Amino acid sequence: MHWVYWVKLYDNKFQAGCLAKRMEEDWWIYGYECPQEVEVFRSPKGRFGVRYLL
């Protein structure tokens, strides 16, 4: 399994955390398979992103 990275980076951890929580709990509403693991990470330039395992 490989990490899948969300295409957008966010300026603060709160924004990325909101997306991560939504991915964990609400994806089934849209017909997507819920990811096994979701993680917020910090890029080398200091912005925050979300990555997940399917």
pLDDT digits (tens, 9 = 90+) for 12-26: 999 999 999 998 888
- Write down the pLDDT at residue 33: 78
Residue 10's beta-bridge partner residues?
Answer: 48
Burial classification of residue 41, based on how many CB atoms lie within 10 Å of its CB (0-12 exposed, 13-18 middle, 19 or more buried): middle
Q: What's the rounded Cα separation, in Å, for the pair 10 and 30? A: 23
- Write down the pLDDT at residue 4: 92
Q: Which of 31, 26, 1 has its CA nearest to residue 51?
A: 1
Percent of the chain exceeding pLDDT 90 equals: 67
The predicted-structure confidence for 24-49, as pLDDT tens digits, reads as follows: 888 778 777 788 899 999 999 999 99
Residue 1 scores a pLDDT above 80: no
